[in-house]
Structure 1
Amino acid sequence: MKLKDFRTFFNKELSNLYPKTEIDAFFFRTIEHTLNLQLTDVFTKQDLLITDDNMTVLKSVIERLKKEEPIQYILGETEFYGYTFKVNSDVLIPRPETEELVSWVKETVEHKKTKLSILDIGTGSGCIAISIQKELPTTKVTAFDISEKALETAKKNAELNKVNVNFIHHDILSNTTINDKFDVIISNPPYVRELEKDEIKNNVLNNEPHLALFVDDNNPLLFYKRIADIALTNLNENGVLFFEINQYLGKETKQMLLDKGFKNVVLKSDLFGNHRMIKANF
């Protein structure tokens, strides 16, 4: 099959499930990943013949997309903050709003002349920890996660991006002892309430790890409270705490931090105008 004919086939097979703009995005990512073609090649090499072996792979991508599996899991990788990350069903797919959190951290600390020590709690794929280590190479970055499988993926991503991050298996809810001190603590913990499940798309709900997504409706700030307590004990003087947060609980999260004695608590919106990040000084 020629490339132009495959594009027609690809669109036809998925047209009942996804909008055209999303199908086009899937197509370009699939072609780039599988056939090592660039966007311009799709238009300049329309008569390119696709081998039978490649057609088998491409058709399997279509079948998995029909089951609403995320394209990132199908291809096994995604881009975050300009870097490539391996992803699978053991880790959340990194989101653009989390890139904004990384930028905020970078803008806040990059002027500091001392060598900083940074802790990322609930690292998942390692996207936050690794991106910060890439952007601020003089920092010492440590990352925790409760999932050993997630840590395996994070370690592979550190190797892929050629950085040294200290990954540690740690359950912050049951293990209260952390010996080190840090200048910055960052976390994007589980924050989606069960009552908000109806807002989650099927490709997320049916594929991404619920352990990293959901919290009990009756205690939605569970992880934030615990991490705030860790910060009170383990942040150095003038240290900074950063969270990605539930957009519906911005005021509650801010008040919780103020009640615990944090200063200069700043609630920040993402590019879509949603309360998505918070910063506090110790």
Structure 2
Amino acid sequence: MSTFQELLSSWASKLPIYEKQEAESLVSWLLEHHLGWRRTQILDQADEASFPPKLFEDFERLKIGEPIQYIMGKGPFYGREFIVSSATLIPRNETEELVHMIIKENKKAGLRILDIGTGTGCIPISLALEMNNPEVFAVDISEEALEIAKKNGDVLKANVTFSSCDILTQTPDVSELDILVSNPPYIPEQEKTQMHRNVLDFEPGLALFVSNDDPLIFYRTIAEKGKQLLKSGGKLYFEINEKYGEEVAELMQNSGYSEVQILKDLNGKYRIAVGRR
């Protein structure tokens, strides 16, 4: 028998790829998922012999670096839980900031919105549920990702129209948009060596990486097609690679967007680009 804190420390020590505090948080999350135990509870003893086999199986997956969101099949985003799979990126805090900005800046009712490269659907679903009766569309090249996005839309009761589209070769069948938003692939292949293994080994490369030769290909293509899709005065929002802020701003200006801004996230990194058609 161990106390809960002893168990937490012991299991966390078996996750050397993470810092101690993060490892303890991951173990706590796993225990809560399987046993209903919360870290805030004070448990005098924890009997590992009574744990279900699936808990130990999932802990082995955690030990090799698999993200806990994939292990549990869900991840939090903007106050809700989203189904995730290996076909989708895990929703991240920076993207929450992008969503929050769009909600804050666009109060008008009935706005038409398109999200390109939707993944789990976390962006359009959050906008559909938080904004004033918008009309929301979302596209992705991955059929597997679209299946997950549609499930999330159904579970969360969000009115979003999802469809398949390869943005590099096709143009979405929508028009007169007020808002176009995208968190496209933006990591050049050459940066793979700098990435944490649990991202590189488990998250979908299709949603992460672009060619070293043209790392801004998605921004350029979306900005150009945005000129057709957005109504006059409509806004284009991007999540960006912090290293390419100036280049994305120049690209948007050259494409004819006005009021272009590159904004920092809460960690002080340039993560959001916005401009007006």
> Is TM (by shorter chain) over 0.5?
yes
Give, in angstroms, the shift of residue 137 of structure 1. 4.6
TM normalised by structure 2 equals: 0.94
Structure 1 gap ranges (5+): none
Give, in angstroms, the shift of residue 153 of structure 1. 0.5
AA partner of residue 47 (structure 1): Q
Correspondence for 2:33:
33
Residue identity over aligned pairs, in percent, reads 41
CA contact (8 A) 2:165 2:171 kept: no
CA contact (8 A) 2:110 2:132 kept: no
CA contact (8 A) 2:115 2:138 kept: yes
Correspondence for 2:55:
58
Work out whether 1:19 is the aligned partner of 2:19: yes
CA distance in 2, matches of 1:67, 1:167: 34
CA deviation vs aligned residue, 1:150-200 (integer Å, no higher than 9, x gap): 000011111221211100111111213634321100000000011211221
Give, in angstroms, the shift of residue 66 of structure 1. 1.6
Work out whether 1:182 is the aligned partner of 2:177: yes
Structure 2 gap ranges (5+): none
CA deviation vs aligned residue, 1:199-218 (integer Å, no higher than 9, x gap): 21000000000000000111
Work out whether 1:7 is the aligned partner of 2:5: no
Matches within 5 A, 1:1-282: 4=4, 6-14=7-15, 16-41=16-41, 44-49=42-47, 52=50, 54-110=51-107, 112=108, 114-176=109-171, 178-282=173-277
CA contact (8 A) 1:119 1:141 kept: yes
CA contact (8 A) 2:261 2:273 kept: yes
Q: Secondary structure of the equivalent of 1:178?
A: coil
CA contact (8 A) 1:183 1:235 kept: yes
Give, in angstroms, the shift of residue 275 of structure 1. 0.9
Give, in angstroms, the shift of residue 3 of structure 1. 5.9
CA contact (8 A) 1:3 1:50 kept: no
Q: Secondary structure of the equivalent of 1:40?
A: coil
Give, in angstroms, the shift of residue 8 of structure 1. 4.4
Q: Secondary structure of the equivalent of 1:39?
A: coil
CA distance in 1, matches of 2:3, 2:166: 49
CA distance in 1, matches of 2:8, 2:172: 55
Compared CA separation, residues 59 and 47, structure 1 to 2 (3 A): same
CA deviation vs aligned residue, 1:92-119 (integer Å, no higher than 9, x gap): 0011011110011111102x2x410100
RMSD, matched Cα: 1.6
CA distance in 2, matches of 1:268, 1:95: 17
TM normalised by structure 1 equals: 0.93
CA contact (8 A) 2:7 2:46 kept: no
Q: Secondary structure of the equivalent of 2:139?
A: strand
Compared CA separation, residues 45 and 137, structure 1 to 2 (3 A): farther
